[in-house]
A and B are shown apart, each in its own frame.
Chain A
């Protein structure tokens, strides 16, 4: 149950696009199409933003998109806005009703 690998931080200017990577193994990210992404503001609860690799819950802007290739998943945020500044965590199902999270990525909107 080792944590997924995410960059500690990414940044971009308003209107630009950023991509956050999430690297796992064939036992988690590569083995299942059950990657999810969560947004967390400081001191707040995580919020689901992407599930099943590419799906967005109702209310999540289309600017956010997810993808996966092999053992790596990615979250892309296009048209960056100030409100996107937050921590983002990837999560993968790892079999037998267990999950593994990434270490989190701090997104800074310059």
Chain B
């Protein structure tokens, strides 16, 4: 059974930093590209970032480019998101998602999410 367990969320002041982590199990982690998406309170989903299977290629939404960095460790089956220069509008539940296999573009499985609150 695929499991994705996010952690690292919390309350942070504007301008602060956090590192989110996603522990993956139940599948061959190194074979799947991975992504982060987020959902502000009462709002819709927003794609945030994706990373290739080998970690060498990363992609970001315009709204987070230059502030967020996605990482993966295939030896530990973990996906991380370093988020810097946080803004109030970054407040959201952040989800880790397993991307589809090569040849298509969708999100197979999602974790339960971790809440990031940016407030002074």
Contacts and interface: CB of A to CB of B under 8 A. Distances in A.
Given A34-B105, A36-B107, A98 B100 contact: no
Interface in A61-110: 89, 91, 93, 96-104
Given A46-B95, A91-B45, A101-B46, A1 B61 contact: yes
A99 B47 contact: yes
Interface residues of B, number: 25
Contacts of B100: 51
B93 to A, nearest CB: 9
Interface residues of A, number: 26
B109 to A, nearest CB: 8
Interface of B: 35, 37, 43-47, 50, 57, 59, 61-63, 95, 100, 104-113
Interface of A: 1, 3, 32, 34, 36, 38, 44-48, 51-52, 57, 89, 91, 93, 96-104
